[in-house]
A and B are shown apart, each in its own frame.
Chain A
Amino acid sequence: MLTLENVAQAYGRKQVLQNVSFELAAGEIGCLLGPSGCGKTTALRLVAGFESLQSGRILLDGGQVAGPDQALPPERRRLGLVFQDYALFPHLSVTGNIGFGLGSLPRREREARVDEMLRLVGLSQEARQYPHQLSGGQQQRVALARALAPRPRLLLLDEPFSNLDVELREKLSIEVRDILKHEGITALLVTHDQHEAFAMADQVGVMHAGVIQQWGTPYDLYHRPRNRFVAGFIGQGVLLPGVVRSAHQVQVELGMLQGVDAAECDGGSCLTFGIGTEVEVLIRPDDILHDDDSPLQAEVERRAFRGAEFLYTLRLPSGARVLTQVSSHHDHAIGEKIGIRLDVGHVVAFRRPPPDAPRGRA
């Protein structure tokens, strides 16, 4: 449905995108996730056609919309866009905004489509109001309905929830996903918020420094990060030093990890590291279980109450820190020692950088 092939873009000397390639199937929701300045918005604007492509190709429905010598202007790409600031037209009512892109339809059909969209986003009551009379969430939904009304081939969303408060953000992102799935719409989302990305997207590309670091499902990104950056950017966790003991075993302070899944490592299997290689192993909070009977003890250094659970930061005897999520009946004070045990499904390890190199923080 949407294909980017080797897209690269530079402004002056600054290389904004390098070698960006990915594909979205029809009905799929993709997301470019990354910190600000990573190039994700540029990628989105290239797809939309607001920037002219310097190298690579962009295809929609198998047809090229942008290449080194060709560009279909934005208005002819038939895309829907939801902007970060919504960009609602202040002089038009909700109905006027939603019907804006339907100018070519006969009046009757236009009205029917607007009604349909109003129902879809649940704003039938507000049809005659003007943008400034609506709440943030309502404005967001108007922006969505406006973009969807002309039945775009692809919907682009630029940080669509960043102007909303956290609670509304979660609620809306689920709502929007349901709408998109219900309508079978292919969409590409750009965000810096992984919760938003995970809640919305089927496929996520983590971007950093103009490069897609990893493209995959949220599950993969979390559990099988391909590099230190993805490991650090997605989810919580720490990197613990360890040593490869055998093809399937890595020794860390907490014990021997069994790489039963044939562990993913930096660029492939840990087997390539060789026995004795010093590595760092990604330990997620869910890799460590609280077990009062365990001989392995760690001191509670910080704790964050999250309702159903606590997130404890624990200090190991060596001074290294790990995180664990524990059901909130287990209320331990700071300084207390608690028993823990490892439950690692698969090992993610990276070669340990030389001591003078900057260390990846997880």
Chain B
Amino acid sequence: MRKLLLASLALLVTAASASAAEVVVYSARIEQLIKPLFDAYTKETGVQVKFVTDKEGPLMARLKAEGKNTPADLLITVDAGNLWQASDQGLLRPVESRILEANIPAHLRDPGKEWFGLSVRARTLVYNKNRVKAGELSTYEDLASPKWKDRLCLRTSKKVYNQSLVAMLIGEHGEPKTETMVRGWVDNLATAPFPDDTKALEAVAAGLCDVTLVNTYYFGRLMQKKPNLPLAIFWPNQNTGAGNAGVHVNVSGAGVTRYAKHPEEAIRLLEWLSSDKAQNLYADMNMEYPANPAIKPDPLVASWGSFKPNLINVAEAGRLQVRAVKLMDRAGYK
């Protein structure tokens, strides 16, 4: 009787214990963009992938609190900044993998080998075709010039995409110059910053402003729904010479946790995610660009044209992110 009681109690209060052929993932990349990959992986290898989704902050707080007893083997985020932080807080472990180093270009992975970009998100300009000629546009920096007065729309500075863009600009120009430039952006705003990229795009389409800064997949999604909107992509900073380092890119990526219970399984999953089998699925589901340069992007994505990406290591953006946030605060970018 007592045994039975204990057993049922144990059932109620214990989580299912880990079995051998599985890998546990904490993912900030949302379920519908990650589960199809895991399903494919399980189908191919028989390895079970258990995962929970949450925002990066809580996931990292969770990893930290759980310490060496964490069940998590792999941490997936949707930006490099958070991976850099996770690494900085000692939550990740270095991974030696020829496959990963071959598949992922150097500027899209951690120099310390603790994390690897898996898909590329480009943050670029989108303008209203009826109100702006492509020739008027040139660079991120140019958006600060007075000719864009009351013509610019921006998403809130609280979004990490803008933070890493500004971090990259700091890396390129230093803080004082970048701050002047961000102040210029703020001066040029036609309306208060928007909560998301789509809203900013709609405002440009409606004529509230003429140009905005967005991740390409938001543009892709909106145009799929409303193909007639007078919007077009412009790739900034493409010329040669100073100040033309290329389009700012960020990554969605992953790293193996420091106290992973199944590190080999985690590395195998990571390698598989960087392989040609997974890369298209990983990127195409969300109209992103594959991190593996050998893989072609989705035809729709490719139709927006090719661009020269900024080759500064995305880890730089992570390193400078806190400074970027403070700089935007100082500049009054809400």
A–B touching in complex (CB under 8 Å): no
